[in-house]
Protein backbone atom coordinates (compact mmCIF):
# COMPACT_ATOMS: atom_id res chain seq x y z
CA UNK A 1 0.00 0.00 0.00
CA UNK A 2 1.36 3.42 -0.92
CA UNK A 3 2.01 5.78 1.96
CA UNK A 4 -0.72 8.26 2.56
CA UNK A 5 0.32 11.88 2.19
CA UNK A 6 -1.53 14.72 3.73
CA UNK A 7 -2.33 17.71 1.67
CA UNK A 8 -0.10 20.68 2.04
CA UNK A 9 -1.73 23.63 3.79
CA UNK A 10 -1.85 27.16 2.42
CA UNK A 11 1.33 29.22 2.10
CA UNK A 12 0.87 30.87 5.50
CA UNK A 13 1.19 27.54 7.37
CA UNK A 14 3.47 25.72 4.92
CA UNK A 15 6.68 26.10 6.99
CA UNK A 16 4.98 24.68 10.10
CA UNK A 17 3.54 21.78 8.06
CA UNK A 18 6.98 21.01 6.58
CA UNK A 19 8.57 20.89 10.03
CA UNK A 20 5.82 18.57 11.30
CA UNK A 21 5.56 16.07 8.42
CA UNK A 22 8.78 16.12 6.43
CA UNK A 23 11.58 16.89 8.92
CA UNK A 24 13.01 14.02 10.98
CA UNK A 25 12.04 13.66 14.63
CA UNK A 26 15.63 14.27 15.87
CA UNK A 27 16.69 17.54 17.41
CA UNK A 28 18.29 19.95 15.00
CA UNK A 29 21.85 21.22 15.40
CA UNK A 30 22.19 24.46 17.32
CA UNK A 31 25.26 26.41 18.46
CA UNK A 32 24.26 25.81 22.08
CA UNK A 33 24.28 22.03 21.62
CA UNK A 34 27.63 22.11 19.83
CA UNK A 35 29.14 24.26 22.57
CA UNK A 36 27.88 21.80 25.18
CA UNK A 37 29.50 18.90 23.32
CA UNK A 38 32.79 20.79 22.98
CA UNK A 39 32.67 21.61 26.68
CA UNK A 40 32.17 17.99 27.76
CA UNK A 41 35.73 16.70 27.22
CA UNK A 42 37.53 19.64 28.91
CA UNK A 43 35.04 19.43 31.78
CA UNK A 44 35.74 15.71 32.14
CA UNK A 45 39.52 16.23 32.16
CA UNK A 46 39.20 19.13 34.62
CA UNK A 47 36.97 17.09 36.90
CA UNK A 48 39.24 14.02 36.93
CA UNK A 49 42.63 15.72 37.20
CA UNK A 50 41.75 18.88 39.15
CA UNK A 51 38.46 18.71 41.05
CA UNK A 52 38.88 15.17 42.34
CA UNK A 53 42.35 15.83 43.82
CA UNK A 54 41.00 19.00 45.43
CA UNK A 55 38.13 17.01 46.89
CA UNK A 56 40.62 14.47 48.20
CA UNK A 57 42.57 17.24 49.94
CA UNK A 58 39.43 18.59 51.58
CA UNK A 59 38.37 15.10 52.72
CA UNK A 60 41.84 14.37 54.09
CA UNK A 61 41.76 17.59 56.13
CA UNK A 62 38.58 16.47 57.88
CA UNK A 63 38.87 12.69 58.20
CA UNK A 64 42.55 11.96 58.82
CA UNK A 65 43.88 11.96 62.39
CA UNK A 66 40.31 11.52 63.55
CA UNK A 67 37.13 12.82 61.97
CA UNK A 68 36.14 16.41 62.61
CA UNK A 69 37.89 19.75 62.96
CA UNK A 70 40.97 18.49 64.75
CA UNK A 71 43.42 19.61 62.08
CA UNK A 72 41.88 23.08 61.95
CA UNK A 73 42.00 23.25 65.73
CA UNK A 74 45.72 22.49 65.52
CA UNK A 75 46.16 25.43 63.13
CA UNK A 76 44.30 27.87 65.37
CA UNK A 77 46.07 26.76 68.55
CA UNK A 78 49.62 26.56 67.12
CA UNK A 79 51.26 29.99 67.32
CA UNK A 80 53.75 29.34 64.51
CA UNK A 81 51.15 28.12 62.04
CA UNK A 82 48.76 30.95 62.88
CA UNK A 83 51.59 33.48 62.47
CA UNK A 84 52.38 31.98 59.07
CA UNK A 85 48.75 32.38 57.98
CA UNK A 86 48.59 36.00 59.13
CA UNK A 87 51.95 36.76 57.50
CA UNK A 88 50.71 35.28 54.22
CA UNK A 89 47.59 37.46 54.16
CA UNK A 90 49.61 40.51 55.18
CA UNK A 91 52.17 39.92 52.42
CA UNK A 92 49.46 39.31 49.81
CA UNK A 93 47.71 42.54 50.83
CA UNK A 94 50.94 44.59 50.67
CA UNK A 95 51.86 43.14 47.28
CA UNK A 96 48.36 43.85 45.95
CA UNK A 97 48.28 47.46 47.15
CA UNK A 98 51.82 48.19 45.95
CA UNK A 99 51.13 46.58 42.56
CA UNK A 100 47.99 48.69 42.15
CA UNK A 101 49.79 51.92 43.10
CA UNK A 102 52.61 51.21 40.66
CA UNK A 103 50.46 49.83 37.84
CA UNK A 104 47.59 52.32 37.66
CA UNK A 105 49.65 55.34 36.49
CA UNK A 106 51.53 53.15 34.01
CA UNK A 107 48.29 51.72 32.61
CA UNK A 108 46.81 55.24 32.39
CA UNK A 109 49.78 56.53 30.37
CA UNK A 110 49.95 53.45 28.14
CA UNK A 111 46.21 53.68 27.47
CA UNK A 112 46.63 57.22 26.13
CA UNK A 113 49.66 56.36 23.98
CA UNK A 114 49.55 56.19 20.21
CA UNK A 115 49.47 52.87 18.39
CA UNK A 116 53.23 52.43 17.90
CA UNK A 117 54.09 53.29 21.49
CA UNK A 118 51.10 51.25 22.70
CA UNK A 119 52.29 48.13 20.86
CA UNK A 120 55.82 48.58 22.24
CA UNK A 121 54.48 49.04 25.78
CA UNK A 122 52.26 45.96 25.49
CA UNK A 123 55.27 43.93 24.34
CA UNK A 124 57.28 45.13 27.36
CA UNK A 125 54.40 44.15 29.67
CA UNK A 126 53.94 40.70 28.13
CA UNK A 127 57.63 39.73 27.73
CA UNK A 128 58.08 38.92 31.48
CA UNK A 129 55.57 36.07 31.02
CA UNK A 130 58.18 34.39 28.82
CA UNK A 131 60.67 34.31 31.68
CA UNK A 132 60.33 31.83 34.50
CA UNK A 133 59.58 33.23 37.93
CA UNK A 134 62.53 31.16 39.20
CA UNK A 135 64.91 33.06 36.90
CA UNK A 136 63.44 36.41 37.95
CA UNK A 137 63.72 35.46 41.61
CA UNK A 138 67.39 34.53 41.22
CA UNK A 139 67.95 37.89 39.50
CA UNK A 140 66.50 39.59 42.57
CA UNK A 141 68.78 37.48 44.79
CA UNK A 142 71.79 38.85 42.88
CA UNK A 143 70.37 42.34 43.27
CA UNK A 144 69.38 42.17 46.95
CA UNK A 145 72.07 40.05 48.60
CA UNK A 146 74.53 41.48 51.13
CA UNK A 147 77.16 42.27 48.49
CA UNK A 148 74.66 42.62 45.67
CA UNK A 149 74.24 45.44 43.19
CA UNK A 150 71.92 47.55 45.35
CA UNK A 151 74.10 47.48 48.47
CA UNK A 152 77.28 48.10 46.47
CA UNK A 153 75.74 51.14 44.78
CA UNK A 154 74.46 52.54 48.10
CA UNK A 155 77.87 51.99 49.73
CA UNK A 156 79.66 53.64 46.81
CA UNK A 157 77.37 56.68 46.98
CA UNK A 158 77.83 56.91 50.75
CA UNK A 159 74.10 56.54 51.43
CA UNK A 160 74.69 53.71 53.92
CA UNK A 161 77.61 52.77 56.16
CA UNK A 162 77.03 49.01 56.06
CA UNK A 163 75.06 46.69 53.77
CA UNK A 164 71.32 46.52 54.22
CA UNK A 165 69.75 43.18 55.13
CA UNK A 166 67.38 42.67 52.20
CA UNK A 167 67.76 38.90 51.84
CA UNK A 168 65.97 36.62 54.31
CA UNK A 169 63.65 39.49 55.13
CA UNK A 170 60.04 40.27 54.44
CA UNK A 171 60.83 43.37 52.38
CA UNK A 172 63.03 41.43 49.95
CA UNK A 173 60.30 38.86 49.38
CA UNK A 174 57.70 41.57 48.86
CA UNK A 175 59.87 43.49 46.36
CA UNK A 176 60.44 40.39 44.25
CA UNK A 177 56.75 39.39 44.42
CA UNK A 178 55.63 42.88 43.39
CA UNK A 179 57.92 42.74 40.35
CA UNK A 180 56.50 39.36 39.33
CA UNK A 181 52.88 40.41 39.92
CA UNK A 182 52.97 43.74 38.05
CA UNK A 183 51.91 42.28 34.64
CA UNK A 184 48.97 40.52 36.30
CA UNK A 185 47.77 43.90 37.54
CA UNK A 186 48.59 45.86 34.39
CA UNK A 187 46.69 43.71 31.90
CA UNK A 188 43.24 43.87 33.61
CA UNK A 189 43.69 47.62 34.14
CA UNK A 190 44.57 48.17 30.49
CA UNK A 191 41.65 46.03 29.36
CA UNK A 192 39.20 48.08 31.43
CA UNK A 193 40.72 51.41 30.38
CA UNK A 194 40.72 50.53 26.69
CA UNK A 195 37.00 49.77 26.88
CA UNK A 196 36.10 53.23 28.25
CA UNK A 197 34.24 55.36 25.72
CA UNK A 198 36.32 58.48 25.13
CA UNK A 199 33.19 60.40 24.18
CA UNK A 200 32.24 60.38 27.87
CA UNK A 201 35.42 62.26 28.74
CA UNK A 202 34.79 64.72 25.89
CA UNK A 203 31.24 65.24 27.13
CA UNK A 204 32.54 65.93 30.63
CA UNK A 205 35.00 68.47 29.20
CA UNK A 206 32.21 70.17 27.24
CA UNK A 207 30.18 70.41 30.44
CA UNK A 208 33.06 72.26 32.10
CA UNK A 209 34.90 69.51 34.01
CA UNK A 210 38.65 70.05 34.27
CA UNK A 211 41.02 67.08 33.70
CA UNK A 212 41.09 66.22 37.42
CA UNK A 213 37.29 66.08 37.63
CA UNK A 214 37.15 64.09 34.39
CA UNK A 215 39.46 61.55 35.95
CA UNK A 216 37.77 61.40 39.37
CA UNK A 217 34.13 61.36 38.25
CA UNK A 218 34.29 59.63 34.84
CA UNK A 219 37.51 57.71 34.17
CA UNK A 220 38.20 56.27 37.63
CA UNK A 221 34.69 54.86 38.25
CA UNK A 222 34.66 53.25 34.80
CA UNK A 223 38.05 51.63 35.42
CA UNK A 224 37.05 50.08 38.76
CA UNK A 225 36.19 46.77 37.11
CA UNK A 226 39.84 46.48 36.01
CA UNK A 227 41.01 47.49 39.48
CA UNK A 228 38.84 44.78 41.06
CA UNK A 229 39.96 42.11 38.58
CA UNK A 230 43.64 42.99 38.96
CA UNK A 231 43.49 43.10 42.76
CA UNK A 232 41.69 39.76 42.91
CA UNK A 233 44.18 38.12 40.54
CA UNK A 234 47.24 39.47 42.34
CA UNK A 235 45.92 38.76 45.85
CA UNK A 236 44.92 35.17 45.09
CA UNK A 237 48.19 34.49 43.26
CA UNK A 238 50.18 35.98 46.14
CA UNK A 239 48.42 33.74 48.66
CA UNK A 240 49.80 30.66 46.93
CA UNK A 241 53.28 32.02 46.13
CA UNK A 242 55.99 29.44 46.78
CA UNK A 243 59.15 29.95 44.70
CA UNK A 244 60.03 33.50 45.69
CA UNK A 245 59.41 33.17 49.47
CA UNK A 246 61.27 29.84 49.49
CA UNK A 247 64.36 31.23 47.72
CA UNK A 248 64.58 34.69 49.26
CA UNK A 249 63.29 33.66 52.67
CA UNK A 250 62.16 35.78 55.57
CA UNK A 251 61.48 35.82 59.29
CA UNK A 252 58.18 34.02 58.75
CA UNK A 253 57.15 31.34 56.30
CA UNK A 254 54.31 31.84 53.88
CA UNK A 255 51.60 29.20 53.85
CA UNK A 256 52.73 27.60 50.57
CA UNK A 257 56.22 27.03 52.01
CA UNK A 258 54.69 25.69 55.23
CA UNK A 259 52.47 23.28 53.27
CA UNK A 260 55.52 21.96 51.39
CA UNK A 261 57.38 21.52 54.67
CA UNK A 262 54.49 19.68 56.35
CA UNK A 263 53.85 17.41 53.34
CA UNK A 264 57.40 16.63 52.17
CA UNK A 265 59.59 16.88 55.25
CA UNK A 266 57.33 16.17 58.22
CA UNK A 267 54.88 13.95 56.26
CA UNK A 268 51.97 15.57 58.08
CA UNK A 269 49.51 15.38 55.19
CA UNK A 270 46.38 16.11 57.25
CA UNK A 271 47.75 19.44 58.49
CA UNK A 272 49.03 20.33 55.02
CA UNK A 273 45.59 19.48 53.59
CA UNK A 274 43.88 21.67 56.19
CA UNK A 275 46.14 24.61 55.30
CA UNK A 276 45.48 24.08 51.59
CA UNK A 277 41.74 23.89 52.25
CA UNK A 278 41.85 27.22 54.08
CA UNK A 279 43.55 28.84 51.09
CA UNK A 280 40.98 27.25 48.77
CA UNK A 281 38.09 28.52 50.89
CA UNK A 282 39.53 32.04 51.00
CA UNK A 283 40.00 31.97 47.22
CA UNK A 284 36.38 30.91 46.67
CA UNK A 285 35.05 33.57 49.03
CA UNK A 286 37.09 36.27 47.29
CA UNK A 287 35.95 35.10 43.87
CA UNK A 288 32.25 35.17 44.80
CA UNK A 289 32.70 38.56 46.46
CA UNK A 290 34.30 39.82 43.25
CA UNK A 291 31.42 38.47 41.17
CA UNK A 292 28.88 40.17 43.44
CA UNK A 293 30.80 43.46 43.32
CA UNK A 294 31.04 43.37 39.52
CA UNK A 295 27.31 42.64 39.16
CA UNK A 296 26.50 45.51 41.51
CA UNK A 297 28.87 47.82 39.64
CA UNK A 298 27.39 46.89 36.27
CA UNK A 299 23.87 47.27 37.63
CA UNK A 300 24.65 50.73 38.96
CA UNK A 301 26.23 51.66 35.64
CA UNK A 302 23.18 50.47 33.73
CA UNK A 303 20.88 52.51 35.99
CA UNK A 304 23.10 55.55 35.48
CA UNK A 305 23.06 55.16 31.70
CA UNK A 306 19.27 54.74 31.73
* Domain at 221, CATH number: 1.10.3720.10
Give the structural domain span for 284.
69-305
Is residue 23 in some structural domain? no
Using CB atoms within 10 Å of the CB of residue 114, give its burial: 0 to 12 exposed, 13 to 18 middle, 19+ buried: exposed
Is residue 51 in some structural domain? no
Is residue 198 in some structural domain? yes
Q: What is the pLDDT of residue 28?
A: 57
Is residue 6 in some structural domain? no
Is residue 95 in some structural domain? yes
Is residue 293 in some structural domain? yes
The helix or strand, by DSSP H or E, that contains position 87, with its residue range, turns out to be helix 79-111
Better-scored residue on pLDDT, 3 or 49: 49
Is residue 42 in some structural domain? no
Q: Please say whether the beta carbons of 145 and 166 come within 8 A.
A: yes
Where does the chain show beta strands of DSSP type E?
none
Q: What is the pLDDT of residue 190?
A: 92
**Residue 152 clears pLDDT 50, i.e. is over it:** yes
pTM of the model: 0.79
Is residue 33 in some structural domain? no
* Domain count within the chain: 1
Q: What is the pLDDT of residue 17?
A: 47
Residue 11 DSSP label: G
**Residue 22 clears pLDDT 60, i.e. is over it:** no
The stretch 156-182 carries a mean pLDDT of 86
Q: What is the pLDDT of residues 90-145, one digit of tens each?
A: 999 999 999 999 999 999 999 888 888 888 888 888 888 888 888 888 888 888 88
Amino acid sequence: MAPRLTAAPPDADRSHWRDQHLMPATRSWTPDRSNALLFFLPALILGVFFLLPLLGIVIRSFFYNGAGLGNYRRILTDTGTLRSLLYTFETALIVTIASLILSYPVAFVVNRARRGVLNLAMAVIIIPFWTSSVVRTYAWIVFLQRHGILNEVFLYLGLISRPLKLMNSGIGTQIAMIHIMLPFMLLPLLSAMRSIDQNLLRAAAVLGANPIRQFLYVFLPLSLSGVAAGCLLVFISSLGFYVTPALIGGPNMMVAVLIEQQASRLLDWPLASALATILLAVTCVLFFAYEAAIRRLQGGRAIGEA
